[in-house]
Chains A and B, each alone.
Chain A
Amino acid sequence: MDGGTDRGLLRFIACGSVDDGKSTLIGRLLVDADVVPDDRRAAAADLAGLIDGLQAEREQGITIDVGYRYFSTPRRRFIVADTPGHEQYTRNMATGASTADLAVILVDATKGLLPQTLRHSAIVALMGIRRIVLAVNKMDLVGYREDCFAAIVEGYAAMAGQLGLRDVTAIPVCALRGDNVIRPSAAMPWYRGPTLLDHLEIVPAAPVEDQPFRLAVQWINRTDGFRGYAGTVLGGSVRPGDEVVVLPSGVRARVARIVTYEGDLERALAGQAVTLTLEPEVDVGRGDVIAAAGAPPHLSDQFAAHIVWLGDAPMLPGRPYLLRLGTATTAATVSELKHRLDIASGSQRPAKQLAPNDIGLANLSLDRALPFDTYDDNRETGGFILIDRLTNATVGAGMIRFPLRRAANIAWQDFTVDKKARTAIKGHRPAILWFTGLSGSGKSTIADGVERRLTALGRHTYLLDGDNVRHGLNRDLGFTDADRVENVRRVIETARLMADAGLIVLVSFISPFRAERRLARERLADDAFLEIFVDTPIAECERRDPKGLYHKARVGELRNFTGIDSAYEAPEAPDLHLHTLEMTIDEEVDRIVEALQRRGVFD
């Protein structure tokens, strides 16, 4: 719901490194265009203060969050987003960039191109902004010299070329005094191009290509026998009678009516919120996509995408996140990180994780197939966000590059002998006992006690022990966060196979992160799953130090040791919480066996 429906509306952002003068430039533009109310102008301490609306921003003299301003000149309407230059607030810059048609990238003439110039240019390029204004600011501080300007323009051309940015207009400005912002600069007679506003007023807005019809279903409108599908047209247009396909189901139908409050429409265009009825009435749910039958979107559970990582914690391949695409939400993991952009060198480097503010290319694997377009074909159906499952924070922005169809080639094979048959032979149901706790907390000792007891009872068990698995299956993995996530993922899949074979599987693993234990619980939800927290205070573990590892970690010989320089996230609601200082091994084993009986694993 944007206020403006003017064809000439231009959305642009100001970006670049910290203190390059973005807020000052926007402030200058607004003042010189005479669109600032007198009382606002009187209240602002300086030009940047017209935009920097938060108290902390004015106190620190920096922009923290993206700020939006709406203005019009006799020739055009504008929405400008002033974005923060500080690296820490890259997520807010990305927020502004995602809906922009044009980016004004500022460079401080005294400082030249900086790492943030590259980071912001890369984000702008990945987000599909094609039109760039390179505003070389603070020309007053370099004596308005043409050679300074030319050197920066030349340096930027190389950077832009690498990023595929071809439409760059360079303008030398002094935001503080207003040179070449709206008024041509008398101090720079050598510059004969347009002023910033001149350029913004005439530059064509991003061309709307002829896209095939897409509508993401937001809500099912059901009332008095009426059944329609409400949503926003995310691409193309639609008319009654058009043949459409509903995805993921693949069912086809015709559009019967386009219903609105003012009466039925003959045609609905991109950006319009409408309610469609279909003929015949087929099954459509919230999150589905209704698309042109002749040009449907891709449908897959895997794709390659660029990711801008916005979370405070790193992105770890294998860790499950929620993915929101259109109106659909599903679980997703990065199955492979291809590379990350090294901001210092400007080159692509192999990587095992994405740190905050990193940009990378990755393969993603979804829990179910979703319809999508590539981002280049359609921003609305090709862009997605990733959400952290524990904090619910938005941690990633993704742009789909191409679908991957591996899933289509590897079909699931069904066999006759199934889990039920295997359970019947064993005389007990499969189960997973997941022991988590610090190194030296007693996981292996307790697991060993449980396994001996169960074997004595004639139950068929198998123990997966962290150390032992690292000798074989996981010998290629180290102890970085990324490797720990992969380590756990493989153990989960192994435990799953064994449970499928009918066993009671004991997993004795530090498994320090909540996200992976949650993944285990979900992946293994078909069977009885018990998360057992072996809770021994770290001081006690360190006193015991059965393998001498705490000592090594303390003296710095061992890095990334859980509890010392790598986090242990204690379970919030384990199925069993064993306070080991207050119990004997036998009591602990009793508790676990009782829990298995309660869960009906055996009588």
Chain B
Amino acid sequence: MFAKPVILYSIGKDSSVLLHLAIKAFHPAKPPFALLHVDTTWKFREMIAFRDRRMTELGLPLLVHVNREGMARGIGPFSHGAAVHTDIMKTAALKQALDLHGFDAAIGGARRDEEPSRAKERIFSLRSASHRWDPRGQRPELWHLYNGRLNPGESIRVFPLSNWTELDIWTYIARESIPVVPLYFAAGRMVVRRNGMLILRDDERLTLQPKETPELRWVRFRTLGCYPLTGAVESRAATVPAIIEELARSRTSERQGRAIDHGESSMERKKVEGYF
């Protein structure tokens, strides 16, 4: 249906499931898509190591895009704040990469149960030539008939996992033995408490403030992103079955630990501006 589709591979659990499904769907051929990772240069080191290992194992070529301009300006979450960092190193970087390669369909692992404005997403979500989402003018989406027709410059974001919940993802990971980044599993890790979040000091770019002392805690991550913006949760769940059991009892939402989501409608605003 599309001239140049790409899978957005963010290294997280949803991306891992998405990639697994794509490999299965096209078997015995290889998925006829490019794979793209937008690297903000602030991802957990374990994520990058996992990414490189997986790509070698699967024998799939991966495009990695970094916003060089943003990097040259030294944009980061500490110096510029979470909003500016995400806007430039993630949203703008994604747009750059899509424009650079001329991708007309970007397939991602976002799910409707992640966040209230995502619950309003279509499976085929239209973006204008400037990559904007118009939540009030979405195409009706009937049965399983998707309208991927584009006017010049427009593109589509495709969310095949829209109807999956966090629990569905983990159940499927268990069933299919899909490898995921070890950060999802609880371990003793050195974390600092900052703004109510438990932050893993992944490298020395995180400078400790007075009175901040890293402490050893049993934690894991429910979502993965830029390490300074992603809070860990206290947990002893070190296996997939333990995670599934923990989720059944959880009273908090998955993205609760994400600094960038907070504030009224901030996810919606980011999405309108072209965030995935």
Question: A219 — which chain B residues lie within 8 A by C-beta?
Answer: 26
Decide if A142 is an interface residue (CB 8 Å cutoff): no
* Chain B interface residue bracket vs A: 35 or more
A39 partner, pick from B26, B161, B253, B264, beta carbons under 8 A = B253
- Once the chains bind, are A53 and B147 in contact (CB under 8 Å)? no
A40:B116 contact, CB within 8 angstroms = yes
Cross-chain pairs A/B with CB under 8 angstroms, 23 sampled: A1-B160, A2-B163, A3-B161, A3-B163, A4-B168, A38-B252, A51-B116, A54-B117, A56-B135, A56-B136, A65-B136, A67-B120, A68-B119, A70-B112, A94-B140, A95-B140, A95-B142, A98-B141, A226-B29, A260-B27, A261-B23, A261-B24, A397-B142
Pair B119/A53 contact, Cβ less than 8 Å:
yes
Verify A65–B138 contact, CB threshold 8 A.
Answer: yes
CB <8 Å contact, A54 and B135:
yes
Query: Closest CB of chain B to A288's CB: distance in Å?
Result: 15
Instruction: List chain A residues, Cβ under 8 A from B135.
Output: 54, 56, 64-65
Given contacts A324-B147, A380-B143, A392-B151, contact A37 B164 (CB under 8 A): no
A371 to chain B, nearest CB (A): 15
Listed in ascending order, the chain B residues whose CB lies under 8 Å from chain A are 21, 23-30, 112-113, 115-120, 122, 135-136, 138-145, 147, 149-151, 160-165, 168-169, 172, 250-253, 256, 264-265, 268-269
In the complex, the answer to whether A70 meets B120 with C-beta atoms within 8 Å is no
Identify A391's interface contact among B25, B151, B253, CB under 8 A. Answer: B151
Q: Chain A interface (Cβ within 8 Å of chain B)?
A: 1-4, 37-40, 50-56, 58, 64-70, 79, 91-92, 94-95, 98-99, 219, 221-224, 226, 230, 232, 259-262, 273, 275, 310, 322, 324-325, 379-380, 383-385, 387, 391-394, 397
Q: Which residue of B is nearest A67, CB measured?
A: B119
Name the contact of A37 in the complex, choosing from B21, B139, B253 (C-beta under 8 A).
Answer: B253
CA distance A224 to B147 in the complex (A): 32
B136 to A393, Cβ gap below 8 A? no
A95, B142: Cα distance in complex, Å: 5
Q: In the complex, how many residue pairs between chain A and chain B have their CB atoms under 8 Å apart? A: 144
* Residue from B25, B147, B251 within 8 A of A387 (CB atoms): B147
Q: Are A259 and B28 in contact, CB atoms less than 8 angstroms apart?
A: yes
Taking a contact as CB atoms closer than 8 A, the residue among A51, A260, A397 that contacts B140 in the complex is A397
* Contact status of A273 and B25, CB under 8 A, knowing A37-B252, A53-B117, A322-B149: yes
Contacts A275-B27, A383-B142, A385-B142 aside, 7 further interface pairs with beta carbons under 8 A come to: A3-B169, A51-B116, A95-B142, A232-B144, A383-B143, A383-B145, A392-B147
> A39 — which chain B residues lie within 8 A by C-beta?
252-253, 256
Tell me whether A68 and B117 are in contact in the complex, defined as CB-CB below 8 angstroms, given that A3-B168, A39-B253, A98-B142 are known contacts. no
> Which residue of the partner chain, among B118, B140, B160, B163, contacts A92 with CB atoms under 8 Å?
B140
